[in-house]
């Protein structure tokens, strides 16, 4: 019932190399993320515009259906290519992605019959650690693309969105790290230290 799509389409300009393919505590960062979500996923897919770099993972790889549309294009591709009715979207540079939180998001989506369950993090909404109902979200997302509304959440007014509040998130992300993405070598090193310190 659940597809987890790892979005690996960014340019990694501040890192100087592909973030997802940098070793993180003995395994590539993307391998770490795959290992974290595998227990809860019925399917794992990767959206990337550099599929050759990820072929060694042995997972389904999809390039953007609408190129040059940024994160919204990646989301649309994930929703289109997923095999299951519920799609969790996670970024390839989030070393502390929380499978427990994704499971909670799925329960909320089912129990409250909403279309999107998105956390409210310190930086605002976190669409790259969110859960989407494919049937309703895909046409809304596609309409946004076709009308040049490129913002990742531009189509949210067309669907039922459930915003998770910090107090709801905390039990599933006790260290407050789930939404942290690494963009520089310094952030990467810091994340490794935190992972060791907190045994994450």
pLDDT digits (tens, 9 = 90+) for 82-114: 999 999 999 999 999 999 999 999 999 999 999
User: Which residue did the predictor score with more confidence, 9 or 179?
Assistant: 179
Cβ proximity of 93 and 32 under 8 Å:
no
Please list, in sequence order, all residues whose beta carbon lies within 8 angstroms of the beta carbon of residue 10, skipping any fewer than 6 positions away. 19, 91, 92, 93
Beta bridge partners of 160: none
Domain 2-197 has what CATH class? alpha beta
pLDDT digits (tens, 9 = 90+) for 150-179: 899 999 999 999 999 999 999 999 999 999
pTM here is: 0.94
The full set of domain ranges for the chain reads 2-197
Spell out where 48-174 has E strands. Answer: 61-62, 86-91, 116-121, 124-125, 129-133, 161-164
């Amino acid at each position: 019932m659940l597809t987890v799509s790892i979005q690996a389409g960014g340019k990694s300009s501040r890192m100087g190399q592909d973030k997802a393919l940098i070793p993180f505590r003995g395994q590539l960062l993307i391998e770490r993320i795959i290992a974290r979500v595998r227990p809860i996923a019925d399917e794992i897919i990767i959206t990337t515009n550099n599929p050759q770099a990820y072929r060694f993972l042995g997972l389904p790889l999809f390039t953007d259906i609408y190129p040059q549309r940024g994160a919204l294009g990646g989301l649309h591709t994930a929703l289109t290519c997923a095999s299951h009715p519920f799609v969790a979207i996670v970024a390839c540079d989030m070393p502390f992605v929380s499978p427990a939180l994704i499971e909670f998001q799925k329960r909320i989506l089912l129990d409250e019959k909403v279309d999107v369950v998105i956390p409210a993090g310190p930086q605002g909404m976190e669409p790259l650690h969110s859960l989407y109902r494919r049937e309703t979200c895909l046409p809304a997302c596609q309409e946004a693309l076709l009308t040049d509304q490129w913002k990742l959440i531009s189509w949210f007014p067309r669907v039922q969105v459930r915003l998770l509040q910090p107090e709801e998130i905390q039990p599933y992300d006790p260290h407050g790290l789930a939404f942290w993405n690494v963009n520089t070598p310094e952030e990467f090193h810091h994340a490794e230290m935190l992972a060791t310190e907190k045994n994450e």
